[in-house]
Amino acid sequence: MMRATRGWWAAALLGCAGTAWAHHSFAMFDQTQRLSLHGTVHQFQWTNPHSWIYLDVPGSNGAADSWQIELNSPNNLKRQGWQSDELKAGDKVTVVINPLRDGRKGGLFVSVTLPNGTVVGDPTRRGNAPINLPSVK
Amino acid sequence: MNVRTALRSLAAGALLLAAVGAANTRAADITGSAGAAAAAGATNASFPKGHYAELDALPDWGGVWTRTFPKGPRPQLPLLKGKYLQDFQAWQRAVKANHGEAPHSGSYCRPPGMPGIMAIFQYPIEFLFTPGRVTINQEAWMQRRVIFTDGRPHPADLDPTFNGDSIGRWQADTLVVDTVGIKPVVQIGPGMGHSDQLHIVEHIHLTGNDPDTLVDEMTLYDPLALQQPWTTTVTYQRSRNEQLLEFICEENDRNSGDPNDSGFGR
């Protein structure tokens, strides 16, 4: 399991400072904001290069909104203790995300509260420090 | 100087380096008879049969190796010059203007190439020793890098590739690797380009005080793009009981190459 500790390189997690490489920047997410979504898992994609949760969240008009949440890769999640069936369609969960900047219904995974009450976070994150952004002085 | 001429001169320089190094090598020279045959021009040195017993003389690099996070002060970045510096500064401005989003082209499933393949966080590498070569597998993007240790020179008619052409030799328990022929699209750091004269020398070895720590001391030479050679050290920690996992980037690749495409809404 990779665990972030302190230092300039915290921003380099998943890549992008110094001589690190990632497959994409997380600049599309507003990592200063957190949003808590209560809903039902529609689909859990255990796929590279990133896993995804499609979550149905009751909207204001009664109909469900579909939210898309991007997670780490299955490789990293596996080493953090996840299984490919960690989430199943129909699971009632709460997912905390950093929302997309453009206002669409999606975001970057922060943590999930499973149906049994267990909270699973992302150990590569510490506090509110943003991850995976290029380091530009 | 065109690409081919530049590569030829680099290859000749690398050969000279290899020759000087070989004279100083004291042990574990596994280039062995294949290297000698190549030097004599007797046979093609590629993929010699046998020689597996000689691999026992090599250091123990078994298991998988994950890059550790650097500690201490922030390391010096490469000092670029000329148009490479201007391009980097333009890239920095673009990143700042867009919440840290770097301009890009092509799919993000494109692997980093050298030297990036040796500096990836969170995804381990492994070393496979077979006669005449060392193979490095990197889990992310399921990359493979080959370092020939059979005494061959760089090809004179080299076509640039992402990982370039690597030849190596064992100097005691250190693998010394010489790499040329890296594609222009490959970056030496985020937003940092290089010329066709990029030449990388690595010294890969276990650290003296911890058998489970490995370092790759890399020096990048590029007289057209760098003010001076740039040296960096990447450190890895061993895990004997892990294995590399599958990584098929195309399985759910949402990055079309369009900077305005976030990959959401599919």
Query: φ, ψ for residue A55 (rounded to 5)?
Result: -120, 130
Q: Does the beta-carbon distance from A5 to B69 stay under 8 Å? A: yes
Q: Does the beta-carbon distance from A19 to B251 stay under 8 Å? A: no
A12 interaction partners in chain B (CB closer than 8 Å): 69, 121
Count CB atoms within 10 A of the CB of residue B61. Answer: 19
Whether the CB-CB separation of A57 and A51 falls below 8 Å is answered with no
B71 touches chain A (CB under 8 A): yes
Residue B98: the pLDDT is 78
What does B78-111 look like in DSSP terms, one character per residue? Answer: P-B-HHHHHHHHHHHHHHHTTTTPPP--S-TTS-
Q: What is the per-residue pLDDT across A70-96, written as a single tens digit (0 to 9) for each? A: 999 999 999 999 999 999 999 999 999
What number is the ipTM of this complex? Answer: 0.79
Q: What is the per-residue pLDDT across B79-136, written as a single tens digit (0 to 9) for each? A: 999 999 999 999 999 888 877 777 665 677 889 999 999 999 999 999 999 999 999 9
Q: Does the beta-carbon distance from B120 to A73 stay under 8 Å? A: no
Measured at the CA of B52, the angle between CA B50 and CA B56, to 5 degrees, comes to 155
Q: Does the beta-carbon distance from A134 to B109 stay under 8 Å? A: no
Out of B101, B252, B262, name the one closest to residue A49 (CB).
B252
Out of A12, A18, A136, name the one closest to residue B92 (CB).
A136
Q: Does the beta-carbon distance from A14 to B122 stay under 8 Å? A: yes
Q: What is the pLDDT confidence band of residue B261, given thresholds at 50, 70 and 90?
A: low
* DSSP type of residue B154: P
| Interface test mutation site (partner A, options B66, B69, B250, max chain A beta carbons within 10 A) | B69
Which of the given ranges, A3-12, A100-109, B68-77, has the highest pLDDT on average? A100-109
Q: What is the per-residue pLDDT across B179-192, written as a single tens digit (0 to 9) for each? A: 999 999 999 988 89
Burial A49-75 (b: 16+ CB within 10 A, else e): bbbbbbbbeeeeeeeeeebbbbbbbbb
Out of A17, A78, A106, name the one closest to residue B245 (CB).
A78
Out of A5, A24, A101, name the one closest to residue B108 (CB).
A24
Q: Does the beta-carbon distance from A17 to B139 stay under 8 Å? A: no
Whether the CB-CB separation of B110 and B117 falls below 8 Å is answered with no
No. of helices (H) and no. of strands (E), chain A: 1, 6
> How many cross-chain Cβ pairs, A to B, lie less than 8 Å apart?
127
B255 interaction partners in chain A (CB closer than 8 Å): 23-24
Instruction: State the Cα–Cα distance between residues B133 and B149, nearest whole angstrom.
Output: 5
Cα-Cα end-to-end distance for chain A:
30
Burial A76-100 (b: 16+ CB within 10 A, else e): bbebbebeeebbeeebebebbbbbb
B151 touches chain A (CB under 8 A): no
Q: What is the per-residue pLDDT across B161-171, written as a single tens digit (0 to 9) for each? A: 999 999 999 99
In angstroms, the separation between the Cα of residue A60 and the nearest Cα of chain B is 20
Q: Is the pLDDT of residue A12 over 80?
A: no
